[in-house]
Every structure is written in C-alpha cells, then in structure tokens.
Amino acid sequence: MSLLYKEIQKYESILNEIKKFPGILNIDVIDKDTGEPVLSHNYNSERLHIIPLLNSLVSDMLNKELCSTDEIVIKNKDKKYLIKPLNNTIIIIEYLLEFESEVFNIIKKFEGIINKIDKLTYKNLSVIPLKSILDNSKKKKVSVALFRLFRFVDFDKYFNISNEKIMFYFGKEIISSLNLRKFEDFVEFFKEYDIGKIDITNKNPITVDVYDCISCSGIGNINRTLCYFEAGLISGFFEEQKNIKFDITEVKCCGLGDNFCRFLLTSKKI
C-alpha cells in the first residue's frame, strides 16, 4: 500500500469523524487550483454539483482579496459555510447556525492533524500549483527564445512522447487551473503572458485567430503547423465554457508561411 493511499485514508477517516459531530452537515475538500474534489469517492452526485460553485465563489473572493485568506464564513438562512484554505486544499464545512461555537472548537481541535496530512498527501501527488506559479511570476517576462527552446525540445528522444502532445495537454491543464469565465478574460490571459493577440473571427465553426503567436511568429515557412500549446489553451477554454469536447485544427500558421495562426474548432465526434 502506498504512503499516499494510506494518508488519503487517514484524511478521510478524520473527516468522517468530524462529520459525526452534531450540527455538521457536510465537509468538502477541494483542490485550491483546480476546484476538483480531493477525496472524490466520498461524494454523491448532489455534492459534486455544488463543489464547482463553491470553488468559483471562493477563488473569486480570494482573488479580489475581499477577505483574509484565513477563513471565510458564508451565511445562508439556517446554515453557514466555513471555508478554510489550507495548504493546497480548501476545506468547506457546512453546518447549522446554532452549532457555530462547537464547530469552531472542533475545527481547532483537528486543524493540526489535517494540516499535516494535507501537506504529506500533496507532496506525494506532486501537484504543480499552476495558477500560483503564474500569479507569482507575472512581472518576470521570459524571452520568447527560451520559451521556444522548451517548446521544441525533442521529448520523443527521451520519453517516447512528442513535444506537440505534451504542449497540447499542458495548455489544457493550464486553462483548467485558471478558471477563466469570459472570452475577454482569455484574451487578457494571452496578452498578459505575451502568448499572442487572440480573436474569434467566426462563430460556426468557431474560428480563432492568433497574431504574434509566441510559438511561431516570425519563424518562417517550414511546411508545418507549430502551435500545439496554443491549440491546447484554446480548445481547453472552449471545452470548459461550453461543456463539450472539441477537435481543434490549426489551418494557418507562420510555420506554413502565413502571418498569423488560425484554429478551427469542431465538436468532437465520438
């Protein structure tokens, strides 16, 4: 049995213990960056439904610094939600108003041990907090040349997987950790990190053009498309927005001799 599995079991049993206290209705533990439930098999479908809502609310509040990051309490008729960021996770405890002081005592009692397990669990999962990496690196501009060196490393030689595939899925991974709501936020994200100037030029099929693309701009005609990272970002964004899977094709690219990139999205045929 791996250490990780044992730690997760321990985590679950502690939360189950806490759940037994009168007045506590539910406990959710979600990943701070992705909003995914950490102990997913502990949830029924109804709970799974509410988690993304709570997560977006929490990340909104944290982003806008409307409150201290220690804990947040949301009041809702006879119930309250205590939202507590802890290391890499956010613990959300739903409880009845009349039990408020008891709930705080219980949390205090268990906080140390949960904190310890949370750290250990995440160390083993080696989760990369993409959003915090981005947030903390905003002012440090990296050179396009350096980005391209990483972009064009021949991973296939070492790991039997193409750089294109890695870049594509990495793009998707970044998007799912960013929680961007509107296309304007996506445009801003491209601008902020110098990925390119992005625009929707057709709605059906969804057509997205990128100028000054970080992967291919100025590279010259080498008879192939190059922008797999951007394709991952773009398809990831629209998949999250529309909640359907897309196939994406780059039909114009500086690598093909064009002066911009064009991506076409079509709903995925299953």
Is there a contact between 67 and 61 (Cβ–Cβ < 8 Å)?
yes
Tell me: cis bond preceding 205? Omega within 30 of 0 counts: yes
Shortest distance, position 253 Cβ to Zn ion, whole Å: 3
Is 227 one of the binding residues for Zn ion (CB under 5 A)?
yes
Stretch that binds Zn ion, among 68-76, 93-101, 167-175, 207-215 (CB under 5 A): 207-215
Is 208 one of the binding residues for Zn ion (CB under 5 A)?
no
Shortest distance, position 214 Cβ to Zn ion, whole Å: 9
By CB under 5 A, how many residues form the interface with Zn ion?
5
Is the Cβ of residue 233 or residue 261 nearer to Zn ion in the bound state?
A: 261
Edge-first strand listing for the sheet containing 24-31: 24-31, 89-96, 79-86, 72-76
Shortest distance, position 205 Cβ to Zn ion, whole Å: 18
| Strands 89-96 and 79-86, bridge-based pairing | antiparallel
Is 15 one of the binding residues for Zn ion (CB under 5 A)?
no
What backbone phi and psi angles, to 5 degrees, belong to 112? Answer: -55, -45
Residues within window 174-193 making contact with Zn ion, judged by CB under 5 A: none
Is there a contact between 249 and 264 (Cβ–Cβ < 8 Å)?
yes
Non-local CB neighbours of 60 within 8 Å, separated by 6+ positions: none
Rounded-to-integer distance, Cα 253 and Cα 75, Å: 51
Shortest distance, position 239 Cβ to Zn ion, whole Å: 20
Is the Cβ of residue 8 or residue 227 nearer to Zn ion in the bound state?
A: 227
Is the Cβ of residue 35 or residue 236 nearer to Zn ion in the bound state?
A: 236
Q: Which residue type sits at 231?
A: A
Q: Measuring CA to CA, which residue among 159, 130, 160, 161 is closest to residue 228? A: 161
Shortest distance, position 49 Cβ to Zn ion, whole Å: 38
Q: Which of 253, 262, 263, 265 touches Zn ion by CB under 5 A?
A: 253
Q: Which of 72, 107, 216, 248 touches Zn ion by CB under 5 A?
A: 216
Is there a contact between 239 and 174 (Cβ–Cβ < 8 Å)?
no
Q: Which of 54, 261, 262, 265 touches Zn ion by CB under 5 A?
A: 261
**Contact residues for Zn ion, defined by CB under 5 A:** 213, 216, 227, 253, 261
